[in-house]
Amino acid sequence: MPPRFPLTRRTLLTGSALLAGAVLLPRAARAAVGEGEAVRLSAGPARVNLAGAGFPDTAVWAYDGRIPGPELRFRQGDTARIAFANTLPEPTTIHWHGLRVPNAMDGVPGLSQPPVPAGGRFDYEFPLKDAGTFWYHPHVNSGVQVAHGLTGAFIVEEREPIRVDRDLLWLLGDWRLTKEAELAGGFGHPMDATHAGRIGNTVTINGAVRDRVPVRAGERVRLRLINAANARVFALDFQGHAPRVIALDGHPVTPHAPPDGRVVLGPGQRADLVIDMEGRPGEGFDVVDGFYPRMAYRLTRLTYGAEAPLRDSPLDAPVALAANPLPEPDLAGAVRQDVVLDGGMHGAMPKTAGQRGPFWALNGVASMAHHHLEPLITVKRGQTQVTAFVNETGWWHPMHLHGFPFRVLSRNGQPAEHREWRDTVLLGPRETAEIAFVAEEAGDWMLHCHVLEHQETGMMAVLRVTA
């Protein structure tokens, strides 16, 4: 019998003791492919157990019937070929989030490709220029399709990886479930769209609520984190451990401790960490998500096995990754076009706002569909562009640019410490972030908030790169 208490995140996590003894953290199923072979991938309805023992299965939409979808793994320099089949009851596409792909492979319906109809197919093919932690998801009806589970990791391995004992992936999902563990309705509800988006009540790691993650004393783990939630922001505190951030949004960064000890991930963002398991056999340490004030909860617990430590002191090996071959912005010759974010509850909503929006705008323009978008910004191919995102709203916005990873130059007027490469920059209320990138590939590219309920109610635009 399923428990009768309402399924809230808090009760769920307390109740997750039910899971003790369950098999924990199986590797996401991998598509092991060689160069030249196409990976077959389908999207369709499925039923999976998300909420854990004692809860019924949840009707979802999934890639290959799994939540998350298969972990697609390639090596840098290879070509990815994905033969996609849509068995959903509606059109979809796949966007390869963060990967530098040709425009026609970018998966934006009506802009870079026609939507793949129900029962249709589409072959994606693109060279893998960059190594790192990326992910894939639909770009059609995104607020509904991503919330239904259509997410998966896309890992590009370095030709010369750093030395670690294990390479772990946590794809973080956030679900709004009923007490019967069914997906709650109300997608795109104005209450979500005008506020922080569809934040759920059940947080999963690789598609399950995980009470614990087994680790071994002395081992060095590379932990790849992906925020695949519609709207939830995470701020992870690895209690008792000293993680080092080695990559952000897939791209190497000077290894550093996370600011204030918390790894912050807005929707769409990734972080690669190196963690030395410095606890003793039999110990356990919580991983706490404390992003929302007064709503901190235990995401999981690093649980040390009884085995003898793998080594007595942390592995003495470098953790810095080799840089990806990204074109360096030419700041002296850059053109500048700023983007002002406006709207939302308590903000300046577009004058045309109806029941379903638009509620948000970029430079005063609200766009709710990908089709027939006039470019907000036009730039010549090869040109360096500097853009300040100016958030004049009272809400958080992870701004995502397709096609071109960018350097973060400054935040609120202060130089960014690591000038990190990113594809998604998280802006707090009233914050400003300045970025720079080289528009190296012609075409129409999306620029949007990755809170999907914001994107779909005005917060999207097109960057046109002319040949």
Judged by the rule CB under 5 A, the positions of this chain that interact with Cu ion are 397, 449, 451, 454
Which of 164/196 has CB closer to Cu ion? Answer: 196
The CA-to-CA distance between both ends of the chain, in Å, stands at: 62
- Smallest separation, CB 398 to Cu ion (Å): 7
**The total number of residues written for the chain in this structure:** 467
Residues 6+ apart with CB under 8 A from 313: none
The answer for 275, left when phi > 0, alpha when psi is -120 to 50, beta otherwise, is beta
In single-letter form, the type of residue at position 238 comes to: F
Cβ proximity to Cu ion, 71 vs 431, nearer residue = 431
41 Cα distance to chain centroid: 20
Q: What is the rounded distance in angstroms from the CA atom of residue 15 to the CA atom of residue 11?
A: 6
For 124, phi then psi, to 5°, come to -100, 140
- For the CB of residue 316, give the shortest distance to Cu ion in the complex, in Å: 43
Cβ of residue 368: shortest distance to Cu ion, in angstroms? 14
| Cβ proximity to Cu ion, 80 vs 349, nearer residue | 349
Element (H, E) at 173: strand 166-175
Which residue carries 């590379």 as its tokens? 222
Minimum gap (Å) between residue 194 Cβ and Cu ion: 11
Q: Which is nearer to Cu ion, 267 or 279 (CB)?
A: 267
* Least Cβ distance, residue 454 to Cu ion (angstroms): 3
Helix residue ranges, H only, 44-160: 142-147
| Identity of the residue numbered 381 | R
Phi-psi region of 107 (alpha: psi -120 to 50; beta: other; left: phi over 0): left
Structure tokens belonging to residue 359: 């509620």
Cβ proximity to Cu ion: between 213 and 451 the closer is: 451
Residue 439 or 451: the one with the smaller Cβ distance to Cu ion is: 451
CB of 161 to Cu ion, least distance (A): 35
- Least Å from the CB of residue 386 to Cu ion: 22
Closest to Cu ion by CB, 95 vs 454, is: 454
